[in-house]
Amino acid sequence: MSTVKFTSSDIADLPRRFRARLINSLSGFKSANLIGSTDKNGVFNLAMVSSVVHLGADPALIGMVMRPRVAGMAPRDTIVNIENTGVYTINHVSGAMLPAAHEASANYPSDTCEFAATGLTPFFPNSGFAAPAVAESPLQIGLKLREIVPFAVNGTEFVIGEIVWVRFAEHALQGDGYVDIENLGSIAVSGLDGYHNTTLLGRYSYAEPNEAAEKLPPSGTPNEPVVDLSAYRERKQSS
Amino acid sequence: MSTVKFTSSDIADLPRRFRARLINSLSGFKSANLIGSTDKNGVFNLAMVSSVVHLGADPALIGMVMRPRVAGMAPRDTIVNIENTGVYTINHVSGAMLPAAHEASANYPSDTCEFAATGLTPFFPNSGFAAPAVAESPLQIGLKLREIVPFAVNGTEFVIGEIVWVRFAEHALQGDGYVDIENLGSIAVSGLDGYHNTTLLGRYSYAEPNEAAEKLPPSGTPNEPVVDLSAYRERKQSS
């Protein structure tokens, strides 16, 4: 079994698209999310993003990398909308909605509503929150913009949002707070265009030095304080 | 099927560990990587990180979120080592090496070598590159530090590195540059402690407005320029 190795100068010399696919594959599996936003004319926008990452739990913060805004080229609708309105949604992509979600990554004109173009359904589960969620998505998050951090190194921008609300099916929430996103049907991304279902190998107990970690039971960590979910349950007609 | 919804004030009132598990689950699937570094005394360090994200292909840049450095508490070995030496490695975690990799997330003293503690094997496939790779890992990347960007919002730091070299089994590299990381055995992470194998749903062709995308053949996009891999193949004894 032979091994290939690419050095920085090898990488610089590769054909452009080959290099893009290679380098996009290297970070490992990624999240698959649709970002929902509203432009200044009230047109809804959807964009597929694979760079959403956890940033902190208290306050609850999520970050994502946005590609550079290039002078003289079409603006990146999502980041402009987030700047203008201060709010957006992050919606997990499931296998069932994948063809439509992938279609949202096409380069539509700014005045096109990607919901209409892809057949996905805008949804507003939180009154007064102006950005559209995706009804077909199994886990939807509403966020308010906290900060946009430009990365001088290549012109990408890191958008940091604070969670205003989050909703998903109750059966996926385990007793200790873990959300079983595999059970929700959320998928993973590889490279620029690979999409994957997952199979749980296990949850592992908190690692202690010189002790083998154990697999957790399906209900989560034992002896955690039980949270009464009735206070967070939505009425059926709104789900 | 009932739905739960948590608002920002609900989240603030949750028990601390419940909240941490909940919020860590929301961003979607994550990459599983071991970060290899060397401290100023030559001790090798390993840390499990699930926040590695693609940042750019030309130059080839990868970012990762590091938790805050808290005054009066033990320093975060990895980021201190990266600052001191300017280099580090990112190593995909496979299912086979998962128990040892999870154990590397335990809180060892700074002078402990996590390779020795976990049984993983340090490996230096690129002469003159001071940070250890993980021999058991199916995809290993050597990086040089480009920038550390602090996020004022919560004290986390974003470490940006440029790829110096990358190596993996040749059979995983498709004709158009896509690396089949599922074939390499790389796994995905959910929440704080869930690990998953993956099953490819498909690669999808580049999305065009108002056209259904097609699944790509296993060999990747047709009609791409063929790259001669012989120049990048390692001699057998070094693999």
C-alpha distance from A37 to closest chain B C-alpha (Å): 17
Structure confidence by residue, pLDDT tens digits, B105-153? 888 888 899 999 999 999 999 999 999 999 999 999 999 999 999 999 9
* pLDDT for the residue numbered A20: 96
Short-list B89, B126, B134, B90, CA closest to B234: B126
For the cut 70, the answer to whether the pLDDT of residue B180 exceeds it is yes
Segment A6-15 shows an average pLDDT of 97
Structure confidence by residue, pLDDT tens digits, B54-101? 999 999 999 999 999 876 665 688 999 999 999 999 999 999 999 999
Query: Among residues of chain B, what percentage have pLDDT more than 90?
Result: 80
Partner-chain contact A8 B60, CB within 8 Å: yes
Structure confidence by residue, pLDDT tens digits, A157-188? 999 999 999 999 999 999 999 999 999 999 99
For the cut 80, the answer to whether the pLDDT of residue B237 exceeds it is no
Residue among B11, B194, B220 minimizing CB distance to A163: B11
Partner-chain contact A199 B195, CB within 8 Å: no
Partner-chain contact A191 B178, CB within 8 Å: yes
Interface A-B: count of C-beta contacts within 8 A: 463
- At B231, is the secondary structure helix, strand, or coil? helix
Residue among B30, B169, B195 minimizing CB distance to A201: B195
B73: which residues sit within 8 A by CB, 6+ positions away? none
* pLDDT for the residue numbered B75: 63
Write out chain B residues lying below 8 Å of A141, CB-based. 26
* pLDDT for the residue numbered B74: 59
* pLDDT for the residue numbered A63: 98
A226 shares contact with chain B (CB less than 8 Å): no
- At B160, is the secondary structure helix, strand, or coil? strand
Average pLDDT value for chain A? 93
According to DSSP H, which parts of chain B are helical?
8-13, 16-25, 77-85, 98-103, 114-118
pLDDT band at B239 (very low <50, low <70, confident <90, very high): very low
Q: What is the ipTM of this complex?
A: 0.95
- With 0-12 / 13-18 / 19 or more C-beta atoms within 10 angstroms meaning exposed / middle / buried, residue B111 is exposed
* pLDDT for the residue numbered A238: 45
* pLDDT for the residue numbered B43: 94
* pLDDT for the residue numbered A239: 41
B103 shares contact with chain A (CB less than 8 Å): yes
Instruction: Please report, as a single letter, which amino acid is at residue A69.
Output: R
Write out chain A residues lying below 8 Å of B197, CB-based. 198-199, 201
Residue among A29, A205, A206 minimizing CB distance to B198: A29
Structure confidence by residue, pLDDT tens digits, A51-97? 999 999 999 999 999 999 876 665 688 999 999 999 999 999 999 99
* pLDDT for the residue numbered A236: 57
Specify the pTM: 0.95
> By the 8 A CB rule, do B135 and B120 touch?
yes
C-alpha distance from A90 to closest chain B C-alpha (Å): 8
Partner-chain contact B153 A147, CB within 8 Å: yes
Residue among A31, A105, A192 minimizing CB distance to B28: A31
According to DSSP H, which parts of A14-159 are helical?
16-25, 77-85, 98-103, 114-118
